[in-house]
Structure 1
Amino acid sequence: MKEIDARGLACPAPVLQTKAAIELEGAVDIQVTVDNPAAQQNVQRFMESKGFSTRLDSEGGDYHITGHAAEGAAGAPTSAAAPAKRTPQDEHQRIVVLCATDRLGSGDDVLGRKLMINFIKTLKEMGPDLWQLIFVNNGVKLAIDDSPVLDELKAYEADGLTILVCGTCLDHFNLLERKKVGTTTNMLDIVTAMQLADKTISL
């Protein structure tokens, strides 16, 4: 069994080490140890995206994610957040909206928050071209329990929109347990999504 000790490593290092073990070394049995829940969620989700069955054990502040490859696992998508590259038959754009803040503009925070609320509520006008909504840094506060746009985000997700929320950012603000919408993600998924997108809108 391939064993990886990724304790103390910042995102996305635990996922990248797991990726290298699976894709470059061909590991079919792997155990990754991390020391925070954001890394645990990201590593476990990555393994499962590669076709691995997983088991989670915790001990003290450590998380041990054990994975076993199913037949054909190596052909699974590289990122849980991003599907295969575009084909000529695709009729819609892939627009990624990257929110690194919970307000729009600078000068007046109250106005900025109102503008962001209106922006999120109006995103539905993009229709099926809106592909992924990604929250990083202060933007993750829009995905927690007291978010003024939580209902709208839940509705978007229910309609099929992929919403990614940075796990490192949630952990930094001590908000991991308060996230109520979207998938806890890592920089590998974010970079992959931006690479495959036709357009990225950054706020």
Structure 2
Amino acid sequence: MVRIVDCKGMPCPLPIITLRRAMAECEPGAELEVRLDSELSAHNVQRYLADHGVYLSLTQADGLYSGRFANPSALATEELPACATVLPEGGLNLSPTSSIGPEAPRASLVIIDADTLGRGCDELGGLLIKGLLSTLTEWDTPPTHVVLMNGGVRLAVGQSGTVETLRQLEHAGTAVWLCGTCVDHFGLAGELGVGQVRNMYDISRAISAAPRVIRL
């Protein structure tokens, strides 16, 4: 029986996350069919599968993309689901794509100092930071710490929409730390839904000890 992985209507990076979970649930050699309705998502899925030795040919009809493949014997070690920022020149290539392969995982401390990602449009930035946080839950080696500073502490507020994702990170063993000075500055002490409030001394020691620090 073919496992249908319906990713239509999903924003980046959910198609990759959904596909990755489906592959993990299926036996090696099982047949899967992925369905998408975005050219960018189709390109990302091709690239992701190529990273795992699967060369997916997609067909396109009426704005929908679909293709079948045999589940590989094992998922290669990876960190971030592929999420392209631009399409290849000339549009989507429906033939198998090449890949440079995933990087070996290393323990990381991630610093987030805003509740949006990038500049130009805060609404878009809010969607991007939510999408990026969801990818952290998929790392084979979760971050040792996610440190929220300045406006980033708003991501831990109950109605922010990112609390559940941060809780998933905690469940995976990641320490979610909030800058105490920042929490006090924004008056959020009574509104937090996740994480530990820590002082700058603790935070600086964690940064010093981390093998790799990623600042978003």
Q: 1:116 to 1:92 in 2, by over 3 A?
A: closer
Residue 188, structure 1, aligned to residue 201, structure 2 = yes
Deviations 1:23-63 (CA, angstroms, capped at 9, x unpaired): xxxxxxxxxxxxxxxxxxxxxxxxxxxxxxxxxxxxxxxxx
Which of 191, 197, 202 aligns to 2:210? It is 197
* Unmatched 5+ stretches in structure 2: 1-103
Give the letter aligned to residue 189 of structure 1. Answer: D
Instruction: Give, as a single letter, the amino acid of the residue that structure 1 aligns with 2:186.
Output: F
Structure with the higher strand share, 1 or 2 = 1
For 1:142, what is the secondary structure of its paired residue?
helix
Q: Secondary structure at the match of 1:184?
A: strand
SS in 2 for 1:130: coil
- Look up the equivalent residue of 1:112 and give its one-letter code: G
Aligned residues: 113
* TM-score normalized with structure 1 length: 0.53
Paired with 2:118 and 2:199, the residues of 1 have a C-alpha distance of 26
8 Å contact kept, 1:92–1:129: no
- For residues 87-126 of structure 1, the aligned pairs below 5 Å read 93-126=106-139
Unaligned runs of 5+ residues in structure 1 are 1-90
* Alpha-carbon offset, residue 167 of structure 1: 0.9
* Of 118, 136, 158, the match for 2:171: 158
Aligned residue for 2:110, secondary structure, equals: strand
Using the TM superposition, give the Cα deviation of residue 92 of structure 1 relative to its aligned residue in structure 2, in angstroms: 6.5
Structure number with greater Rg is 2
CA contact (8 A) 1:154 1:181 kept: yes
Runs of 4+ in 1 over 3 A off after TM superposition: none
Work out the percentage of aligned pairs sharing the same amino acid: 35
Deviation at 1:159, TM superposition (A): 2.2
Deviation at 1:94, TM superposition (A): 2.3
The CA distance in 2 between the partners of 1:129 and 1:158, in whole Å, is: 10
Structure with greater helix percent: 1
CA deviation after TM superposition for structure 1 residue 129, in Å:
4.4
Q: How does 1:41-80 map to 2 (within 5 A)?
A: none
1:136 paired residue number: 149
State how far apart, in whole Å, the 2-side matches of 1:92 and 1:129 are: 9
